[in-house]
Amino acid sequence: MTRKSPFMVIYGQNPRIIPDSPHLIPLANPATTKFSTTMAKIHKETKAMLEEAAGRMKKQYDKQKHSSTEYSVGDHIWLDATNLHLPCLKKKLDDKQVRPFEILEKAGVAAYKLKLLPHWKIHPCFNEKLLTPYTPPTFLNQELPPPPLQTLLMGKNSGRSRKY
């Protein structure tokens, strides 16, 4: 580690990046004055272009950004089953969202604590991106009865088969 910039190593001096910095000595040569004004103009144009590009990037980012959904304590929500290990033989045939759960409290800026089933051995806090608002079914046959708890607890997956 030389503690010197590559420019200092090659040319023996550090470059003057900002032409109107206070540590510069007065310039007597007209060519250096012209170069200094040209560099100042280039820096000003570059700064304006970078600010314009940053504005365009912010505009494009804000198009895709959605405001987060605020839930309150006691609301019921669906939980995304992406990272949950549920007792199903094939993951692709399993439900994409799991039963409506009640929100117990807001745990942080974008996380909620849910009232999970007692036999689930996972942490009850989930990010708001994994939650979807629950809408009650419009007619009765839409609602499936939950499977008996003993049936779920008795079976065990072993490779491609299920042992009871």
Q: Domain residues of the chain, as ranges?
A: 6-64, 66-135
Residue 93: what pLDDT?
72
Distance, CA of 113 to CA of 104 (rounded, Å): 6
CA distances for 82 relative to 77, 86, 95, 111, 153, angstroms: 15, 10, 9, 17, 21
CATH code for residues 66-135: 2.30.30
Q: Tell me the DSSP string of 102-142.
A: EEEEE-SSSEEEEE--TT--S-SEEEGGGEEE----SSGGG
Asked if 152 and 118 count as a contact pair (C-beta separation under 8 A), the reply is no
Which residues are within 8 A (CB) of 125 and not within 5 positions of it... i.e. 6 or more apart? 107, 108, 111, 112, 113, 114
Residues of the chain with pLDDT > 70, as a percent, come to: 75
Would you call 99 helix, strand, or coil by DSSP?
Answer: strand
pLDDT band at 60 (very low <50, low <70, confident <90, very high): very high
- Reported as a single tens digit per residue, the pLDDT across 81-115 is 888 777 777 777 777 788 888 999 988 888 899 98
Judge whether 81 and 97 are in contact, CB under 8 Å. yes
Higher pLDDT, residue 84 or 159: 84
Q: List, in sequence order, every residue forming a beta bridge with 161; answer none if it has no partner.
A: 158
Name the CA radius of gyration of the chain, rounded.
Answer: 31
Mean pLDDT (the chain, rounded): 78
pLDDT at 56 over 70: yes
- What average pLDDT score do residues 53-73 get? 85
Residues in the chain: 164
**Is pLDDT of 116 > 80?**
yes
> What percentage of the chain exceeds 90 in pLDDT?
7
